Amino acid sequence: MIQEKLIILKENKVIDQETFEYAQEALMFLINRNIVENEEEADVFITHLAMATARQNTDEMIDGIDEIIKQEIENDEKYEEAIEIWKELKVIAPTTFSQDEDGYFHLHLVTLLRN
């Protein structure tokens, strides 16, 4: 399903080729690191990643994650691991993400790690 979503986003010019390739690379990273067992487990994260990358390229801004949710994630036992994974994924990103986007990635990664 995630592959179909990414192809549709690319065909409709919502994401560009570079973003498509980054999403693919991030997906393989998650699978190879055993963070997810299959592509479908990463569906929400990869979709967000692709859309966030597209937003950075158009300077579209989003609101940051709610402070209560932020505190909850920061207190989660998987938070530090999520931070490290996100640092690695940011290194290979074709763009720089805003701090507001980072909060959402932390949330998604904590959720993936807990599952």
Scan for tokens 């036992």, then name that residue. 77
pLDDT grade, residue 36 (50/70/90)? very high
pLDDT of residue 34: 93
pLDDT digits (tens, 9 = 90+) for 48-99: 999 999 998 787 788 889 999 999 999 999 999 999 999 999 999 999 998 8
**Structural domain range at position 59:** 2-114
> Is residue 109 scored above 80 in pLDDT?
yes
Select the more confidently predicted residue: 87 or 1.
Answer: 87
Residue 64, SS3 per DSSP: coil
Domain count, the chain: 1
pLDDT digits (tens, 9 = 90+) for 65-79: 999 999 999 999 999
Q: b vs e for 52-76, b when ≥16 Cβ sit within 10 Å of the residue's Cβ?
A: bbbbbeeeeeeeebeeeeeeebeeb
What pTM did the predictor assign?
0.90
